[in-house]
Structure 1
Amino acid sequence: MRSLARQTYRHFEVIVVRDGGTPVDQVVTGWQHELPITLLGTDQPLRVSHARNLALSHARGEHVALLDDDDVFLPHHLADAADALRDGQADAVYGQALVSHTWIEALPRTPHGLPRKDCPFDAVFLAVANTIHTGSLVIRNPASTPVRFDETMTHCGDWDFLLALHHTAGYRFNRLNTITCIYHQLPRPGAVTSAAPRPSPVPRPPSTSGGPPRTGAKAYREWFREFDDRIDARVVGDLPVAPHL
């Protein structure tokens, strides 16, 4: 909520969905003097896809941005997206997401050492790996399309949504050239991260020639086969493996 209040672009509504858990009425009330907020919710947790679909069903704006409770928009996030969407050449834009394992709400002075989720849009690559962070995404409101989050999926619902936007609704994607949000990967009670362990952002396969990292769908497939073999070897050898792997 604090990062929304800091946005330089102000023409937006806020829809907060509580998916079960602790009531957030007092938190929302504390921000209603600064933000136009609609609070929705369920008493029983129905998972993030249901929460997002509920919000989408109430969204009146021409465009929609998604923000989990463990992520942060930088102040120019919505302004940069609005500028990129204004000419009608794209239906979905996404900024670079800085990945942090500690809680931060602003860019550090030297963000270059931190990982980012910032792959250029490549439909073939997207079919192999989820290359776009959901919290970096601003899209044309999909109300007129059949695309929604698949509530039967317990994993990869974000990825499925992106694929459906592109292949079913024909959305044109464009990546922004700026870091617009912070993607937190840290354990915190009540946060989205506590629902299921998350792998790191899409890794860039190491270079075998000493040059820049290999990129693209084919290189990623090769890298992932090698990665999978290493995990299999650890399982066979009864060695510890991270839960999300």
Structure 2
Amino acid sequence: MIKDTPALVSVVIVTRDRLVLLQRAVQSILSQVYTQLEIIIVDNTSVNSPDFQAVDTGGIPIQVIRTPSFLTASASRNFGVSQARGEWICFLDDDDYYLPNKIQALVDAFNADASVEMAYGNTQMLGPDQIDLGVCNGPPEILQLMYYRYIHLNAVMIKRSVLQRIAFDETMTTYEDADLMFRIVKDCRCVHVDQVLAVWNRDNRPDQLTTKNWARAEKNWLMLCQKFSTSIQAHQKTAQMYYKKMSVLSFYNWHPLQGIYYGLCYAFFGWLKPSSSKINIQ
């Protein structure tokens, strides 16, 4: 059933000292076909806080909120959600951007089915020099999602009531987006809109927030594995993939005994038939 009054959609952007990229991200929101929007910019202690007062927003309000101290990505996004007024909430990384129909396509999915709690589309991945790295379009089923991954935050729209119940885990400093998607897909009614709706720049710039911090990656990947051990071990190839990455990260961080243990777990699942019993992630 189509609503008579368009619902407000809040878009949360976390930024820090990337004004030029942020301007592109904001412009992609202002260029949306759907215009019942508000933009919440969480300025995570930039040297020079962004200012959009002189920008013609076409009536779309832009709220810039500066954090009193540096926050993790999880805490910054949760803070942005707490300031949002919209019935539905979207996220956008400040170095990425939306395609013009992104929000309209997901609003249509919500309006078509009142039971939907998250709608998401596909994300175009671009590498250095705009090289096409393919499209990610994670499936709306937890076991498939955990193996194939990736529902990117740029391509989702989530009911605010869901994010009040299932927030970003602030103990995680990376993979927090995958963690949130796993929990929402596992517990909520989700629908996939098979259109490319956003662009994810994977161009390895020095200022990208995702860096090769192996210690952080090891710690947080283990947290992810522990949280979803039952689901991971329900599928042989998924278990192998997660154990293999855990083993590699352990060796990168000079934890050879852990690396050997997880390597043995990887081998163990390789020997089993898909229906074989599970072992615990420690």
TM-score (structure 1 length as normaliser): 0.72
More deviation in 128-137 or 171-180?
128-137
Q: Which of these residues, 115, 120, 130, is aligned with residue 94 of structure 1?
A: 120
Q: Verify: 1:142 aligned to 2:141, yes or no.
A: no
> 2:110·2:119 contact (CA, 8 Å) conserved in 1?
yes
Is contact 1:99–1:114 with CA below 8 Å preserved after alignment? yes
Does residue 1:49 correspond to 2:74, yes or no?
yes
Give the aligned residue type for 1:94. Y
Give the direction of change, closer, same or farther, for the CA distance of 1:21–1:188 in structure 2 (3 Å limit). Answer: farther
Q: Which residue of 1 aligns with 2:143?
A: 124
Contact 1:102 1:185 in 2 (8 A): yes
In the TM superposition, 1:189-228 aligns within 5 A as 190-193=207-210, 218-222=236-240
Match of 1:202 in 2: none
Which is helix-richer, 1 or 2? 2
Structure 1 unaligned spans of 5+? 105-110, 200-215, 237-245
Q: Which residue among 89, 93, 96 is the counterpart of 1:71?
A: 96
CA distance in 1, matches of 2:72, 2:247: 32
Deviation, 1:71, is: 1.2
State the identity %.
Answer: 22
Q: 1 CA distance for matches of 2:76 and 2:212?
A: 14
Are 1:178 and 2:195 counterparts? yes
* CA distance in 2 between partners of 1:103 and 1:217 (Å): 37
Size of the alignment, in residue pairs? 211
Q: Say if 1:125 and 1:131, in contact at 8 Å, map to a contact too.
A: no
Partner of 1:187: 204
Helix, strand or coil for the counterpart of 2:37?
coil
Q: Deviations over 1:193-231 (max 9, x none)?
A: 45969x9xxxxxxxxxxxxxxxx9544444566777888
Distance 2:250 2:65 in 1: 44
* Structure with greater contact order relative to length (CA < 8 Å, sep ≥ 6): 1
Structure 2 residues without counterparts, runs of 5 or longer:
1-25, 218-233, 255-282
Inter-partner Cα distance in structure 1 for 2:199 and 2:65: 25
> Normalized against structure 2, the TM-score is what?
0.63
Distance 2:74 2:251 in 1: 34
Q: 1:38 aligns with which of 63, 69, 87?
A: 63
The 2-side partners of 1:103 and 1:92 are apart by: 33
| In 1, Cα distance between equivalents of 2:104 and 2:213 | 32
